[in-house]
Chains A and B, each alone.
Chain A
């Protein structure tokens, strides 16, 4: 019986310039995946610094740590960075690395398009940050964009945003948008056209399903944003009137176009997080995922319904009662398939033998936190409640609960789970647990208490606030939580570095897992699999390890 890999003889050590050249010109999905992930980590640090600066400014009323102009740039850059240059590259990075491996393929469908997409995304981030240096226009006004990450019209018109700061926002996202669409095309083509024999759509790992739907959403959602941004460029430079209210244009139509992108975008971010949870929870509970078909259907439902809820970001702009009611209904509807997933994960753990290694710790915290995030989301879906809470710190707390408490926690889980596969080394479990506890404490200090100022009337995007409104103490607690989160991130970074250089060798399958990637070396060879795998069930390695009781008997 032949082994699945070819023995590698001593690899000669290349000079640094050659190795860098390899990385810059690579079309290998694993390397591009690593590039995306490292890129995202760098921007995570930048976005975190921006958040910290804001929280220091808001630690007490009438603080003068930074000027209003700088604060407004901070929240704009923080949001834009975290969504487009942290979360999306993270998601694409893991998708790039894992999808071909999990379907038994050799690479993505279009390796050169893959590289092109990465570099377009990378260019976007550089353009955005170059604005700090190059944003001054003729009026000397400018620097980084300060129009908020959703850049509402007409604030973005040349009259109200002089200089080039808004243009850096627009162009950087146009560039990364091209990258996103390219990657999405690649993911779909890979999944539909390159699965190994026996892997029907109904036998793909859930991670693959979730990334397939995510890619479909990117194609349908990022394009409207690109279209709207082209219109904005036309307004700012060609004298267009798309959003020019003085010429009869509509500010509300920008909102529609933006949120037609913006809402599906959050599903683009969360579906891969669900993917990680759907792979990790079963392995650490020692049970198959409960209700695979329902999980797939729920995912597809989320994809479809997610395209129809966008105006729940616009309940306060004066839509008719009928329109408001429609969006209440569609938004509530999406809570059903999302809630179902929580129950399925819970049922997977039920009756299992749960091992609380670091990946599972992050997934369990994700379950509790995502539950809360979903429930606060339902409160916001009730339009009249949203009339009070929209644009307040309650909303900021809600979406950070989803993105940090849900998505980022799953990303951490994914890091710890697949780090042995990507690097061939085990991470340090003690440091992993320390990271977890520090971050959980910090996350809850910041984002649990952040709901309160929203309920007490504090709007978002304000560089300072009045004393005597009852907001002071809550803002103080929120800021203190940042310290713990920052400490957690530092421990995480230290763990990555230390483990990469000094970690214990990890074998092919340190977790006793069941999907294809654990059957090849750690790290996988460039060609992934020496022989194309053939599968008969959703857990090919379970079948191999339990020949007396294979999954394909029950599927």
Chain B
């Protein structure tokens, strides 16, 4: 049985809707923000409530260098995208690699900080409330940086096997939104852990 026809000639119908990838990424960012909010709330709520063990002011040293590195990677990724939109894939590749390196530096810095806290200060996730909330919040962020790096490396692989072109700029831009999100979360985590909580 034939169905009713609904297409009527309407002439030039201007019908523009947002891009799926963009909306999808915004939604993912919203969901992840909700998760981080809960960990931040727990961190703030438990500030000063540890019964024993090291306090933040005793053992934490603000990781300025790594923070600058990570935040700069937002700049480098932005520059990379501009180059890609202009079709300069080789330059894009270099800026992209720089972004990955900066992300890697951040992770390396986090690992060093943790090694110091665990072996020199005796602070682990089970030491006290501070340890639990610190490692889980910073760790959750580091996990997201890692996931981001994996995606960035995948794009780098595509770039250096000559499969990446100008028309992929929008998809890469959507990925960069995730990277900016990870950086923005770090601003919040840094403020909560190394500024407010200390």
Contact = CB atoms under 8 A, between A and B. Distances in A.
Interface of A: 1-5, 104, 109-110, 181, 184-186, 188-190, 192-195, 197-198, 219-224, 226-228, 230-231, 234-235, 238-242, 247-250, 253, 257, 260, 507-509, 516, 519-521, 529, 531-535, 540-541, 544
A92 to B, nearest CB: 15
A253 B42 contact: yes
A59 B143 CA distance: 51
Given A227-B38, A253-B42, A193 B20 contact: yes
Top 6 A-B pairs ranked by shortest CB distance? A239-B126, A223-B34, A227-B38, A3-B2, A4-B3, A533-B6
B50 interface: yes
Contact of B15 (A1, A197, A226, A531): A197
A240 B15 contact: no
B5 interface: yes
B188 interface: no
A219 B30 contact: yes
30 contacts: A3-B2, A3-B5, A4-B6, A181-B31, A188-B23, A193-B20, A194-B17, A219-B30, A223-B31, A226-B35, A231-B136, A234-B125, A238-B126, A239-B126, A241-B128, A242-B42, A242-B133, A247-B50, A248-B46, A248-B129, A249-B46, A507-B1, A508-B1, A508-B3, A531-B6, A533-B7, A540-B6, A541-B4, A544-B4, A544-B6
Interface string B1-32: 11111111010010101111001100110111
Contacts of B42: 231, 242, 253
A197 B5 contact: no
B132 interface: yes
A110 B20 CA distance: 8
B72 interface: no
Contacts of B50: 247-248
B65 interface: no
Contacts of A190: 20
B170 to A, nearest CB: 13
Nearest to A505: B1
B46 A185 contact: no
A189 B23 contact: yes
Nearest to A540: B6
Contact of B125 (A188, A219, A239, A534): A239
Interface in B25-63: 27-28, 30-32, 34-39, 42, 45-46, 49-51
Contacts of A104: 6
Contact of B34 (A110, A220, A234, A529): A220
A227 B43 CA distance: 13
A472 B8 CA distance: 67
B13 A534 contact: yes
Given A194-B20, A253-B45, A248 B51 contact: yes
Nearest to B2: A3
B123 to A, nearest CB: 12
B85 interface: no
Contacts of B133: 242
B124 interface: yes
B23 A193 contact: yes
Contacts of A230: 136, 140
Contacts of B34: 219-221, 223-224, 227
Contacts of B15: 197-198
A223 B3 contact: no
B6 A534 contact: yes
Contacts of A241: 126, 128-129, 132
A192 B128 CA distance: 46
B132 to A, nearest CB: 4
Given A110-B24, A185-B27, A534-B8, A5 B18 contact: no
Contacts of A198: 10, 13, 15
A241 B124 CA distance: 11
A226 B39 CA distance: 11
Give the one of A248, A509, A533 with max B CB within 10 A.
A248
B154 to A, nearest CB: 16
Contacts of A5: 2-3
Nearest to A109: B20
Nearest to B14: A197
Contacts of A240: 125-126, 132, 136
Contact of B4 (A192, A235, A247, A508): A508
Nearest to B136: A234
B3 A521 contact: yes
Given A185-B24, A508-B1, A234 B10 contact: no
A223 to B, nearest CB: 4
B11 to A, nearest CB: 11
A242 B136 CA distance: 10
Contacts of A257: 38
B32 to A, nearest CB: 7
Contacts of B140: 230
A3 B34 CA distance: 47
B55 to A, nearest CB: 13
A223 B34 CA distance: 6
Interface string B169-193: 0000000000000000000000000
Contacts of B6: 4, 104, 516, 519, 529, 531, 533-535, 540, 544
